[in-house]
Amino acid sequence: MDISASSQIGANLDVTKLSDRDKQELQQFVVNESQKARIQASIHSLTDTCFRKCIPTGTVKKGSLDKYEEPCIKNCVDRFLDANLVVLRELERMRQ
């Protein structure tokens, strides 16, 4: 993997030379990509947690999710998000 590019994002970019429309497009692009990256990070974190919860410990025999594991993973995601709502609600309540 060539990682040299990653340390130079925008190194050649002179923002003052961009048109207003280009500036706006770039800004919107960055906002969208940031949100996508946040979502990706959440998915990684959730997969980590739910894999631990739903796949019985020990060696893995089969590569597919069986009829217990798949619903468990789906429930895990939904319950985590429900729990997140509870946390936000309670924090809000504590603030008042």
**Residue 46: partners with Cβ closer than 8 Å, 6 or more residues away:** 76, 77, 80
Of 12 and 94, which has the nearer Cβ to other proteins?
12
- Chain positions 24 to 83 lying near other proteins, rule: CB under 8 A, are 25-26, 28-30, 32-33, 35-44, 46-48, 50-52, 54-55, 57-65, 69-70, 73-74, 76-78, 81
* Contact between residue 55 and residue 63 where contact means Cβ atoms under 8 Å apart: no
Q: How far is the CB of 71 from other proteins (least distance, A)?
A: 10
Read out DSSP for 28-82? HHHHHHHHHHHHHHHHHHHHHHHHHHHSPSS----SS--TTHHHHHHHHHHHHHH
Residues that bind other proteins (CB under 8 A): 1, 3, 5-6, 8-10, 12-14, 17-18, 22, 25-26, 28-30, 32-33, 35-44, 46-48, 50-52, 54-55, 57-65, 69-70, 73-74, 76-78, 81, 84-85, 88
